[in-house]
């Protein structure tokens, strides 16, 4: 198997690996995937007073493409508003990493993780 150099780069130098306090009101946590299939992604966002994502981090359990997809996702969402970020699609991530057909599911999972983090943040704000 051959991994595209962008995927290898994110695998060797993942951006934003880490964890925020999930109970912090400015933090949204998206947890997607299932260990049974070998992929679990946790993507967290910290939202500023202006409604923009000031920081993000992730932890992913899975293949190189899954790690790269969530790493790319965590980079792309920084400094953006939540509406803008919900427009990021698995297709954007897949094209950026030149993912082969069998790995498109990884970029889909990353898109799901972004949406889940936003949903969690919104749900917390309503409480």
Please select the residue that binds another protein; options are 13, 34, 126, 127, rule is CB under 8 A: 34
Residues 120, 127: Cα–Cα separation, whole Å: 11
Least gap, CB of 104 to another protein (angstroms): 4
Give the residue numbers annotated as catalytic, written as ranges: 37, 106
Nearer to another protein, 102 or 123 (CB): 102
- The residues that bridge with 32 in the sheet, in sequence order, are 41
**61 in contact with another protein (CB under 8 A):** no
Do you know the residue count of the chain? Answer: 127
Residues 43, 113: Cα–Cα separation, whole Å: 6
Nearer to another protein, 41 or 57 (CB): 41
- Helix, strand counts (H, E) of the chain: 5, 3
Terminal Cα-to-Cα distance of the chain (whole angstroms): 47
Q: Which tokens is 93 given?
A: 């991530």
Please select the residue that binds another protein; options are 12, 13, 87, 101, rule is CB under 8 A: 101
Site residues (CB under 8 A) for another protein, limited to 103-122: 103-105, 107-108
**87 in contact with another protein (CB under 8 A):** no
Residues forming the site for another protein (CB under 8 A): 34, 36-37, 90-91, 94, 101-105, 107-108
């Amino acid at each position: 198997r051959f991994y595209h150099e962008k995927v290898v780069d994110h695998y060797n130098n993942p951006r934003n690996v880490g964890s925020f306090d999930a109970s912090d009101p400015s933090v949204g946590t998206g947890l997607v995937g299932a260990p049974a299939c070998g992929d679990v992604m946790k993507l967290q966002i910290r939202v500023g007073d202006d409604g923009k994502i000031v920081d993000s981090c992730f932890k992913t359990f899975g293949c190189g493409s899954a790690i790269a997809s969530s790493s790319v996702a965590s980079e792309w969402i920084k400094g953006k508003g939540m509406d803008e970020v919900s427009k990021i699609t698995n297709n954007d991530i897949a094209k950026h990493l030149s993912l082969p057909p069998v790995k498109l599911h990884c970029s889909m999972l990353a898109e799901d993780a972004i949406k889940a983090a936003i949903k969690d943040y919104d749900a917390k704000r309503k409480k």
